[in-house]
Amino acid sequence: MARPPSPTFAEYVPVVAAAVTAGTRRAYGSYWKRVVEHWGQRRLDEPTPSEIEQLAEYVKTHVVARRNARGGRSAAEHLIAALRCLYKRAVADGFIVASDNPALKVAKPRRLPSTRRAVADTRLAEINEVAASTGDDPALDTLLLRLHTETACRRGGALALRPADLDAYQCLILLREKGDSSPSFRLFMIDKR
């Protein structure tokens, strides 16, 4: 049985964008837009791994420079991941066979070691002191800082807290974090029961 003819990137990117989750769309949308800008009229089965590498290098060199820039490595990595997602759908839809997926034949750039570091104890003490003595609600600010210090939860974990997630009797808190992880932490944030 013959495969259907491959659509162009301009035709297929909206199909994939409609089929993925909102988070995937947010992560890859700008890269799919870039692919459509460069290859919109090309068919999915036309680009070679070398051409994908060239596009990744183009994206890498034309990245918006920020204070914490890492030379465009993440942009190149995300472009390749976006193309892998697109081609995975193309395989599932029968437009190409898995062995012809050019995005899988391109290596992602090696990640550099993280530059993230813990906040020094003295700096954290300064932050807590300022939060406790300024602002519209110093008590709430201090409580939030203590929550983050003791649990290392993300901002989203703190924003997703509900009264049902707090167990004052056992000093437990249920965090609903990124990736649907939900660790429970025993906290001693209540000085007096």
Whether the per-residue pLDDT at 137 is higher than 90: the answer is: yes
pLDDT-above-70 percentage for the chain? 87
Query: Of 190, 137, 191, nearest to 166 (Cα)?
Result: 190
Compute the average pLDDT of residues 178-190: 60
- More confident of the two residues 113 and 179: 113
Q: Which helix (H) or strand (E) holds 173?
A: strand 172-174
Which among 84, 89, 37 is positioned nearest to 58, based on CA atoms? 37
pLDDT of 192: 43
For the stretch 65-88, pLDDT in tens is 666 555 567 888 999 999 999 999
CA 173 distance to own-chain centroid: 25
Tracing tokens 């837009």 back to the chain, one arrives at 33
Q: For residue 183, is pLDDT > 70?
A: no
Mean pLDDT of 3-16: 92
Q: How far apart are CA 85 and CA 89, in angstroms?
A: 7
Residue 113 pLDDT more than 50?
A: yes
Q: At 180, which amino acid appears?
A: D
- Of the ranges 47-51, 81-85, 96-100, 105-109, which one carries the lowest mean pLDDT score? 105-109
pLDDT at 99: 93
What is the pTM (predicted TM-score) of this model? 0.65
Q: What is the pLDDT of residue 41?
A: 97
Helix intervals (H) in 20-120: 22-39, 49-61, 73-92
Which run of H or E residues covers position 5? none
Q: What is the pLDDT of residue 171?
A: 81
